[in-house]
């Protein structure tokens, strides 16, 4: 059972509770209209979906970390352009 203060906040539309069946469904709920994504046979998500964009950003971060060798990343070294 939810606390009374939570019920009041729900009635005032201060926040919402969503029920999802999977993490992918939850990601799609907050993914700005993008599908979560599906991996291909190679384990990659090459599409323009949440998983694909996250994978590309992680690959870019990995390249920067490998290039610097010290584990530190300057803000100017990463961009979210195209991601």
What is the band of 22 on the pLDDT scale with cuts at 50, 70, 90?
Answer: very high
Global pTM exceeds 0.85: no
pLDDT at 6 (0 to 100): 93
Nearest to 74 by CA among 64, 60, 63: 64
Q: Answer yes or no: is pLDDT of 25 > 70.
A: yes
What is the band of 33 on the pLDDT scale with cuts at 50, 70, 90?
Answer: confident
pLDDT digits (tens, 9 = 90+) for 41-79: 887 777 788 988 888 888 888 888 887 776 666 655 555
């Amino acid at each position: 059972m939810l606390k009374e203060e939570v019920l009041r906040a729900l009635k005032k539309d201060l926040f919402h509770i969503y029920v999802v069946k999977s993490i992918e469904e939850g990601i799609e709920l907050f993914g700005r209209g993008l599908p979560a994504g599906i991996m291909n046979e190679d384990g990659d998500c090459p599409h323009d979906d949440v998983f694909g964009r996250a994978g590309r950003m992680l690959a870019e971060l990995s390249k920067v970390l490998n290039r610097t060798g010290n584990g530190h990343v300057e803000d100017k070294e990463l961009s979210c352009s195209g991601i």
